[in-house]
Chains A and B, each alone.
Chain A
Amino acid sequence: MTSVLLQPEHEFETQDIFVNMGPQHPSTHGVFRMVLAVDGEVVRDVLPYIGYLHRGAEKLCETMDYRQGIGFMDRTEYLAAFNAELSYVMAVEKLAGIEVPERAQWIRMILCELNRLSSHFMFLGAFGVDVGVLGTSFTYAFREREVIFDLFEEICGDRMMYSYFRVGGLAWEVTDNFVARVHQVLASARQGIEDLDGLLTANEIFQARTKGIGHISAADAIDWGMSGPSLRATGVSLDIRRDEPYLFYPEVKFDVITGTNGDVYDRYICRLQEMYQSIRIIEQCLQRLQPGPIVPERMSRLLRTPPGEVYLRTEAPRGEYGVYMVSNGGNRPWRCKVRSACLSNLQALRDMTVGHYVSDAVLVLGSIDIVLSEVDR
């Protein structure tokens, strides 16, 4: 080591460049901002900034009665609003001790799984764009998302902010041709998954870009409190639908998809395979769907809950979506806290990104599948 260049007086002064990504950037999936310290093309450090989409949804819920809060829950998770509503209404039901009729539960399951499909479609589409397929994956995904949203619009009137689940059941009965329409949507969704699968999965460039990138170990993932497909990609088989069953999930057969490496590719594969499982669940639900009431017979017009607290979590497309609610006996929650899966998953961003290239930072962020409205609430 006697090189002239390495002698102190000749030592190069190098400096990291700070590259600011977001809140206005094509691949930050909303209004997320991160500052990358870059040495050449290699990311040395990541500093995330959140809060651009904070609307105080939790605090707003404390000023509203239980029915009014449902609309705000939609908006905390706009890509999987049914799943967000589900956590909220089930928390209230648990607090108030309300029994939900069977039919309502089956329909809730179908709609939540359909919403999981549409949410994962969104992920696959956006992820393809992050890898750089010029929107082809995006249009494939949106094609199928539109089909699902058309069905949702026929049932509850709105395409994204459904406000359809109610404490105790559903707001109204589904359409008469519901079962046939769901079958139609599933056939179309299968085609969409196959298209996206064919476009991306086996592609050598895609594999070279995603394999081994953004690795996180199972222990680290648990330490960061990750959940959902991002956690399962590391090999931890944790699915609240199976481990802490709600609705009728124990009565349907489905596999919990786990990865092995915990890299970007595994997170992608987990979500892709989960979509097939969702289709499987929906098909079983459709067989079990029986006519019946959709709201309990005895429901008071103005819902009051006994004092107490409850934490209820469900498996939303991005992971554990929990609602912690404290009631002091009134008709509105005294405290309502949303445990957001995205926020916990996002915390591991630095661990996953440092040491990779700038292009990979975009991929890692995309693979966590964040929804900024859920992070900031």
Chain B
Amino acid sequence: MKGLIRSFLTTGSTFLRKPVTREYPETHRELPERDRAFPLLLWDQDVHEPFCTGCHACERACPVECMTVMMKDNPAHTSQGGTSSRRKIIDKFWIDYGRCMRCNICVEVCNFDAIGMNNTWSGHESSTADRLDLVMDLQQLLSQSRAGAVKPWIAP
């Protein structure tokens, strides 16, 4: 009976301790800086255009092939009378969040620090009723960074 009593005492001691439950939808735990949700494209606030030049590096490196990238000539390049130093710029970009496995490789291969992993709760709470809604286009990918809502952590 000694062991039974020990079990009772253990549960009794946890009965008196504080519950560890995080009441999720009301209180969101603060996410660490390095938290990885889904990849986002970043916005260059200085010249008001995406960092991304559409170089296809991430598309080639993606293990699950969830990205589609198309580039174009940058209309805002200095040679065209603009202010940007980017000769080429991203035209169309799709990421299928349904396929992405959040491995961070796209961030590592990017030469321009133009893509980063969303480290806010908005990246985690992205459930949709339709699988096709998980395919993000360029506007959706850029919107959060453009609004200044995210500051992804990119490994030095």
Contacting pair A70 B103 (CB below 8 A): yes
Among B4, B6, B101, which residue has its beta carbon within 8 angstroms of that of A71?
B101
**B5-31: which residues lie under 8 A (CB-CB) from chain A?**
6-7, 9-11, 13-14, 20, 31
Q: Is B99 positioned at the interface, with any CB of A under 8 Å from its CB?
A: no
Closest chain-A Cβ to B147's Cβ sits at a distance in Å of 22
Q: Is B1 positioned at the interface, with any CB of A under 8 Å from its CB?
A: yes
Q: Is A223 positioned at the interface, with any CB of B under 8 Å from its CB?
A: no
- CA A70 – CA B105 in complex, angstroms? 10
Contacting pair B155 A171 (CB below 8 A): yes
By a CB distance below 8 angstroms, the chain B residues around A202 are 2-3, 6-7
- Of B32-40, B41-49, B79-87, B133-141, which stretch is located at the interface? B32-40
Contacting pair B105 A199 (CB below 8 A): no
Q: Is A290 positioned at the interface, with any CB of B under 8 Å from its CB?
A: no
Residue ID in chain B nearest A170 by CB atoms: B155
Q: Number of A interface residues at 8 Å Cβ cutoff, please give it.
A: 36
Q: Is B76 positioned at the interface, with any CB of A under 8 Å from its CB?
A: no
- CA A33 – CA B137 in complex, angstroms? 41
- CA A68 – CA B119 in complex, angstroms? 22
Contacting pair A172 B155 (CB below 8 A): yes
Among A69, A158, A171, A205, which residue has its beta carbon within 8 angstroms of that of B102?
A158
By a CB distance below 8 angstroms, the chain A residues around B11 are 136, 199
- CA A200 – CA B11 in complex, angstroms? 11
Q: Is B156 positioned at the interface, with any CB of A under 8 Å from its CB?
A: yes
Closest chain-B Cβ to A256's Cβ sits at a distance in Å of 27
Q: Is A310 positioned at the interface, with any CB of B under 8 Å from its CB?
A: no
B interface footprint on A141-183 (CB within 8 Å = 1, 0 otherwise): 0010010001001111110010100000001110100000000
Among A140, A150, A158, which residue has its beta carbon within 8 angstroms of that of B36?
A158
- Given A199-B11, A204-B3, the answer on whether A68 and B35 have CB atoms closer than 8 Å is no
Closest chain-B Cβ to A342's Cβ sits at a distance in Å of 22
Q: Is B96 positioned at the interface, with any CB of A under 8 Å from its CB?
A: no
By a CB distance below 8 angstroms, the chain B residues around A201 are 3
A interface footprint on B125-137 (CB within 8 Å = 1, 0 otherwise): 0000000000000
By a CB distance below 8 angstroms, the chain B residues around A175 are 34
By a CB distance below 8 angstroms, the chain B residues around A359 are none
List, sorted by A's number, 11 A–B pairs whose CB atoms are closer than 8 Å: A71-B63, A140-B14, A153-B32, A153-B34, A154-B34, A157-B153, A198-B6, A199-B11, A200-B7, A203-B3, A204-B3
